[in-house]
Amino acid sequence: MDTRRRWRQESFEALAEAIGRGPDAPVAAYASWSVRDLAVHVLRILGNATLAVRSGVLERPSPELGVGPDDAPDALADALGAAVSAAEDALAGAGHALVWTPVGAREPVFWARRLLREAVLHRWDAEHAQGRPAPVEAARALDLIDEFVDTDVRRALDDGWQGPGPVVLDAGAQRWRVDRDGVVASASASAGAGAGGVSGEGEVARIGGDAETLWLWLMRREGRPGAVAVDDVGGAVSAFRDLVDRLKRPSR
């Protein structure tokens, strides 16, 4: 089993357990949602992924979920397990033909990474609703930051967003430079980065913290308030924060 698949499996299993423990707990990140609503949202994402990868469609699918937020927690958890298995089977047999994704036509490997985000993030949401979110290990968080930069941030840049200057996302072991000209680059922190910069470039705006904290900040979760260090240069961080806040968040 590859690493991302193992991570997805662990996180989806923990989410299913959290559904059973506290289905009616309110989810802080989504106004009016309970863990039940969160489960239905994840089922819809899994259904989209499975249909897109299996059929090769380039338009948003309409999966039949079979359950809703009013169903028993066991039914929601069982449906989640079945949906995860279906998605993993589809990914295992996928090729390289482009399929629908929420950021345009991509290869199926997009879904292998996006489903990891869904698994880890919404496990965190469900466990946070019950007051005890498990930590996100550094290697997993680094991969998730990279996924976010490569999909959501790149899409925003392709759509013409331009901040007042470059921003470096600094997770210690790895750094990502988001350029106002639409270039997204990544580099190891060991590549000789200067203060706030990448690869010896001059001082630029910086958002830094350990991998888990930085990823939660990008997802607009407050895991450990104040743990993200911000060095704003020319308002670039403020503009980037506005960009992150404008990126589409689910309504259901």
pLDDT tens, residue by residue, 232-251: 998 999 989 888 888 866 65
- Is the pTM higher than 0.85? The answer reads yes
Q: Are residues 123 and 148 in the same domain?
A: no
Q: Are residues 65 and 179 in the same domain?
A: no
Last residue in a domain, options 129, 156, 185: 129
Last residue in a domain, options 129, 164, 185: 129
Confirm whether 185 is domain-assigned.
Answer: yes
Q: Are residues 9 and 98 in the same domain?
A: yes
Average pLDDT, the chain: 88
Confirm whether 251 is domain-assigned.
Answer: no
Report the domain count for the chain. Answer: 2
Confirm whether 135 is domain-assigned.
Answer: no
State how far the Cα of 102 lies from the Cα of 128, in Å rounded to an integer: 26
Residue 154: how many other CB atoms lie within 10 Å = 17
Confirm whether 172 is domain-assigned.
Answer: yes
State how far the Cα of 144 lies from the Cα of 239, in Å rounded to an integer: 22
pLDDT for position 248:
66
Q: Are residues 33 and 92 in the same domain?
A: yes
* Res. 181: pLDDT tops 80: no
Which 3 state secondary structure label does DSSP give 8? helix
Of the chain, the percentage scoring pLDDT greater than 70 comes to 87
Q: Are residues 16 and 123 in the same domain?
A: yes
Which residue range forms the structural domain that includes residue 147?
A: 141-246
Provide the CATH number for the domain around residue 73.
1.20.120.450
Pairing type for strands 205-208 and 167-170 reads parallel
State how far the Cα of 215 lies from the Cα of 135, in Å rounded to an integer: 12
Confirm whether 252 is domain-assigned.
Answer: no
Confirm whether 223 is domain-assigned.
Answer: yes
